[in-house]
Structure 1
């Protein structure tokens, strides 16, 4: 498939279309050499970094940072779609957007489907069940756990497993699958169960376990930085820690 001709980017009142055109210019022949060398696989690290940086901006209340990081995350979407436009079985960012619109409308019949029982109503629990049922039918899933990413953090993944299992009526199974660790159990097994129990408690309290740990780590990091600033730490031990890292 021949590469499309690079576009001449002219600012318009449609900022999203301008962003698409700029990405097209960067990736097209005669654009940015580095961009042209990238693949879906090579961009994964940046996609994950941008998502984490956006989460950090949100959790710390950094509004300017949030706006910037949303743009950086949008760039990743545009970048992957532009690469895909030149591959076998190509698709464009317009195809991505069209699929998203169709999916959102299809999965929200209580909003978009006039005449459907429950239109404009329903509790959050009802809507979760409806969402899951529609997804299961669409994707022909045989398990409530299908589709949970294995690349996310273990705490977040554990909470997702609990959430999905509870909505599927299998919460008791999830919570009781692993026997309570005994003193004779291997340390890793015992600690694994203890960590999972913490996630169970977080889920019951409506707390995001991963976000809670990130917040606690920010406090720990701030304390370490402050101790370094005022010199209230053991310099020899700190030097050794850096050397061992």
Structure 2
């Protein structure tokens, strides 16, 4: 691994290149925080994909893209004298020190759960009106549900045992089934939301990140379906020309294939 000196030199090089691009490149010169926003979100999702795929070379590349955006925003902030990259770094350093009194102060903690509780309590002392203020409104609903539950658990609003949460899941499922029988679409949707929310909570108790779990299933399904498409193409057929029984044969084949073979489709 590189020494701290080389790491700082590499970061300085990035700052220099950013200065040059902002001054000389027509595209970089016209960017604003608003114009970069959707690109930043896209880069973070690409990083998330690389992490789920356990592709460390791709993780390295995507981390560079995300870091570039952080430097870009900081450069724009410096042009209006609001903040620069030093302010950004100092700000997060001060927050980390402030919120880790068990490292930089005289507070004692017994485990990571207590660290999380202290973290949320410290945020309230810093002026937050609600522990939920730190949950972005624009998060995807599944991620938001997980973060909401994790946040409130941090201040002690939580179930005690996983089986209690599973009973809640069963309760919500029964209520959902009852509304399906009645046929009230609004009530059905409300109860379905409750089922998903309770399942996310149960996943949290099992140490499962529901977003990661669902995305892995999305990827698995997509690869198997692409295998099915490739087999149909080999037979010069479209999927619409195949019966469900025929498609199921190839689907079962795909399930038996090693992941590396599916990845090459």
Give the shorter-chain TM-score range: 0.7 to 0.9
Give the TM-score of the pair, scaled to structure 2: 0.75
Asked if structure 2 preserves the Cα contact closer than 8 Å seen for 1:12 and 1:18, the reply is no
In the alignment, is residue 94 of structure 1 matched against residue 82 of structure 2? no
1:20 corresponds in structure 2 to 15
Specify whether residues 46 and 19 from structure 1 end up closer, same or farther in structure 2 by C-alpha distance, changes over 3 A only: same
Q: Residue 107 of structure 1: which of 96, 99, 119 is its match? A: 99
Segments ≥4 residues shifted beyond 3 Å: 178-182
Within the candidate set 28, 31, 35, 1:42 is matched to 35
Q: In structure 2, how many angstroms separate the alpha carbons of the residues matched to 1:143 and 1:216?
A: 34
> How many Å separate the matches in 2 of 1:117 and 1:52?
36
> Which position in structure 2 is the counterpart of 1:149?
136
Shift of residue 97 of structure 1? 0.7
Partner Cα distance (2:240, 2:22) in 1: 49
Number of residue pairs aligned between Structure 1 and Structure 2: 217
Give the superposition deviation at 1:153.
1.3
1:18 & 1:41 partners in 2: Cα distance?
25
Let me know the Cα RMSD of the aligned residues.
2.4
Secondary structure (helix, strand or coil) at the match of 1:150 reads coil
User: Which residue is 1:134 aligned to?
Assistant: 122
Residue of 50, 55, 58 corresponding to 2:48: 55
2:101–2:107 CA contact under 8 A, matched in 1:
no
Q: Which runs of 5+ in 1 are unaligned?
A: 1-10, 239-245
- Indicate conservation of the 8 Å contact 1:156/1:210, yes or no: yes
Deviation string, structure 1 residues 54-75 (Cα, Å, up to 9, x no partner): 1111111101001000000000
Equivalent residues in 2 for 1:83-232, closer than 5 Å? 83-87=76-80, 89-113=81-105, 116-118=106-108, 121-138=109-126, 140-171=127-158, 180-181=175-176, 182-183=178-179, 184=182, 185-186=184-185, 187-231=188-232
Aligned match of 2:60 in 61, 67, 83? Answer: 67
Provide Cα deviations, 1:13-45, integer angstroms capped at 9, x if missing partner.
7000110111111112xx111111111111111
State the alpha-carbon separation in 1 of the partners of residues 99 and 8 from structure 2: 31
CA-to-partner distance for each residue in 1:201-227, whole Å, 9 max, x for gaps? 211211100010000000011012111
Bigger Cα displacement from structure 2, 36-45 vs 178-187: 178-187
8 Å contact kept, 2:75–2:85: yes
Structure 2 residue 238 is the aligned partner of structure 1 residue 235: yes
Contact between 1:107 and 1:131, CA under 8 Å: does it hold in 2? Answer: yes
